[in-house]
Amino acid sequence: MVNEPTYSFGSTDNVRCYPLEVQLAGGSQPSSVHGVLLDDEPVAVISNGGGASGVHQHSAVFKDGLLYLAVGDSVACLSLESAKLIWSVKVDLATCFGIYFDEDNTALISHGELEIARLSEVGEILWRQSGSDIFSEGFVLHSKFIEVIDFNKQAYWFRYEDGVSVSP
């Protein structure tokens, strides 16, 4: 994945030409634009509103032939084989900081600024939890629970199966 902040949808003047262009926020001004490359070849470019997100280690998860991307306030699922959008879902009121997959719990988890959510393979939000402040100070997938720390250094622990708050 690459950041594409100057990408102009529908233009032939872009540095890269992507066969698939997806604007999750419709025609409104995007806060985030991310390109997907496969073997250095452009596959898809996706934009969204909400809080700005950048490309980093937890911007995407590749699982069973599908790419799950954190972009703006949403997670999008792309098929790289057919270069098409499978689904997208808004996972946070502000920004999705990252997307994670825990093998042992078969859990797709979004780390949002205001909410932690577990997603199904078809883009349904199975559960979501929030805290007293923004989740900006830590995020760890443990074997039995997800640990997240808010701006005030308060720790939260959520079970994978149902999002219920637990003690470690």
Q: What pLDDT does residue 58 have?
A: 97
Q: What gap in Å lies between CA 5 and CA 34, rounded to an integer?
A: 8
The predicted-structure confidence for 90-144, as pLDDT tens digits, reads as follows 999 999 999 999 999 999 999 999 999 999 999 999 999 999 999 999 999 999 9
Q: What gap in Å lies between CA 136 and CA 67, rounded to an integer?
A: 24
Q: What pLDDT does residue 138 have?
A: 96
Q: What pLDDT does residue 146 have?
A: 98
**pLDDT beyond 80 at 168:** no
Q: What pLDDT does residue 29 have?
A: 87
Q: What pLDDT does residue 27 have?
A: 75
* Mean pLDDT value across residues 1-8: 95
The predicted-structure confidence for 17-74, as pLDDT tens digits, reads as follows 999 999 999 878 899 999 999 999 999 999 999 899 999 999 999 999 999 999 999 9
Q: What pLDDT does residue 3 have?
A: 96
Q: What pLDDT does residue 28 have?
A: 81
List Cβ neighbours of 36 (8 Å cut-off, separation of 6 or more).
1, 18, 42, 43, 44, 45, 46, 60, 67, 69, 78, 80
Q: What pLDDT does residue 19 have?
A: 94
For every residue of 41-73, DSSP letters joined together read: EEEEEEEE-SS-----TTSEEEETTEEEEEETT
Where would I find the beta strands (DSSP E) of the chain? 2-3, 20-23, 32-38, 41-48, 60-63, 66-71, 74-79, 84-90, 96-102, 107-112, 115-119, 125-130, 138-141, 145-149, 155-159
